[in-house]
Structure 1
Amino acid sequence: MEPIIELKNIRKRFGDHEVLKGLELAIRPGTVSVIIGGSGGGKSVLLKHVIGLLKPDEGQVFVDGQDTVPLSERELTEIRKKFGVLFQEAALFDSMNVEENVAFPLVEHTKLSAAEIQRVVAEKLASVGLSGQGPKMPSELSGGMRKRVGLARAVALDPKIVLFDEPTSGLDPVMGANINDLILRTRDEFGATCVVISHDIQATFAIADEIFMLYDGKIIASGTPESIKDSQDPVVQQFIQGKAEGPIQIA
């Protein structure tokens, strides 16, 4: 099976700091892939390369078999329609109510009628357990509800790929478990490939089909949750066990 996302020999430098150092990554379609690694280790930079917000200094980024690095901004806009993104803080528009937030990508990128948009919005809100919440403003919602609205908006266009940036950050364990369940449902009910950036190890082992460990600008380990748990790499073991002592040094 061909990867739906593939990064080959990606290098990215900001000034004197090289963040990605020949990174290689291949993500299979229809899976939940979780990228783990320390804060400031390049996870968000990696994600921005996947969606074309950053271009590498060297290397190739393939999405659905197409190298996106040489593409113009207009061509990248078309590629980005394959993606839905759930940002860390949900990134809702404060001036729009829940219904308007979820409708936004449909209004911007489709020619659906107002009635059709309303139908899709109601369907997506129902899928995340928020039926009847359309008139509420983001300020009236809990953190977990805002994330669920963000997910409804992310899947509004039925994307092939959904990117999740620290989806359980700042949530209590019960709400975090609900978000994990929604990620699995995004894979199973919408048929989407899910790419999750996380340092929540418990959530990672609960949802991942495959885990990728990013360290020092490269993917140093990848595999199923079981194989990552059994890894003999001291960096991997220190990270997943949350130990202070080991090869990972606090800057």
Structure 2
Amino acid sequence: MPMEPIIEMRNVRKSFGREHVLRDLSLAIAKDSVSVIIGRSGGGKSVLLKHIIGLMQPDQGQVIIDGQDIARMSERQMAPVRRKFGMLFQESALFDSMNVEENVAFPLLEHTRKSRSEVMDIVAQKLTAVGLKEMGHKMSSELSGGMRKRVGLARALALEPKIVLFDEPTSGLDPVMAATINELIVRTQAEFHATCVVISHDIPAAMSTGHELFMLFEGRIIAQGTPDQIRQWDDPVVQQFIHGRAEGPISIV
């Protein structure tokens, strides 16, 4: 796996009042990879993700996306940077008043000047890629949780982003549908040559899909490596977390 970083965070700090969420956090995510960020609930993973996409600015440090430091960019400066991103939200964030085709077409109509026929061609391609070729007429409110996730992924891919962010993509899904979504993440990276960044609690999925894993704990990345390296990581915190043990140094309080 080439180590050409497309995302870097250097000594990032973020606090909310007296709560220090990110503490001199540094990481580098390789281009054209699937990287999975694991860690406890409420441990700062979503805050980290919001820094990557520029929805939050750090109190200190650098956030470098595709060679540009976005840490102090204005909203206007961020607009072209955000075009490099697609995002699959935890709850899919579909518009229930629109059908599937309209949901996937939305970013194309908002951000491009493509003709209606060009837009619908792209919509058909993306729905086919996620296995929903015949579902364009369905209202999003009629869909199961797994189908909503797939429509959300088709919409995230509509603008052919360089980076796709997945926020707990298998949350609330049964094991079969979760496996389908994990397979789609791997295919997204391979077929669309996108860098995929996944926030996940699903350790077996992280181990099977991630080229590289990062463990966030107490505001820092305490472990980084391939799945095999993380399995053998000599740190009781990492071992307790990846094996889901109640006993260990991680307090449940």
TM-score bracket, shorter-length normalisation: over 0.9
Q: For 1:163-202, list aligned pairs within 5 A.
A: 163-202=165-204
The CA distance in 2 between the partners of 1:33 and 1:134, in whole Å, is 31
2:10 is matched with: 8
Q: What residue number does 2:110 align with?
A: 108
Give the C-alpha shift of residue 70 in structure 1: 2.0
1:208-234 residue CA offsets vs partner (Å, 9 max, x unmatched): 000000000000000000000011100
For 2:227, the equivalent position in structure 1 comes to 225
The percentage of aligned residue pairs carrying the same residue is 68
Matched residue, 1:88: 90
Amino acid at match of 2:148: R
User: Equivalent residue for 1:24?
Assistant: 26
Match of 2:130 among 128, 131, 134: 128
Deviations 1:118-151 (A, max 9, x none): 0000000000000111111111111000000000
Aligned to 1:35: 37
Distance in 2 (CA, whole Å) between partners of 1:2 and 1:118 is: 35
- Quote the Cα distance in structure 1 between the aligned partners of 2:4 and 2:203: 28
- SS at structure 2 position matched to 1:47: helix
**TM-score, normalising length: structure 2:** 0.98
- Aligned letter for 1:167? P
Which sections of structure 2, spanning at least 5 residues, go unmatched? none
Aligned residue number for residue 244 of structure 1: 246
Other-structure match for 1:97: 99
Length, aligned pairs only? 251
Structure 2: how far apart are the matches of 1:51 and 1:198?
A: 17
2:213 aligns with one of 211, 214, 236 = 211
Task: Give CA deviations for 1:141-174 in whole Å, capped at 9, x if unaligned.
Answer: 1100000000000000000000000001111111
1:96-133 deviation line (CA, Å, top 9, x unaligned): 11000000110011000000000000000000000111
| One-letter amino acid matched to 2:132 | L
**Secondary structure of the corresponding residue to residue 4 of structure 1:** strand
Instruction: Measure the CA separation in 1 of the matches of 2:189 and 2:218.
Output: 30
TM-score between the two structures when normalised by the length of structure 1 = 0.99
Deviation at 1:250, TM superposition (A): 1.2
Report the Cα offset of residue 4 of structure 1.
0.1
Residue 2 of structure 1 and its aligned partner are, at CA, apart by 3.0
Letter in 2 for 1:169: S
Runs of 4 or more, structure 1, over 6 Å off, are none
Q: 2:144 matched to which residue of 1?
A: 142
1:78 corresponds to = 80
Pairwise CA RMSD of aligned residues? 0.6
Q: Aligned partners of 1:2, 1:200: CA distance in 2, in Å? A: 27
- Name the CA distance, whole Å, in 2 between partners of 1:142 and 1:206: 25
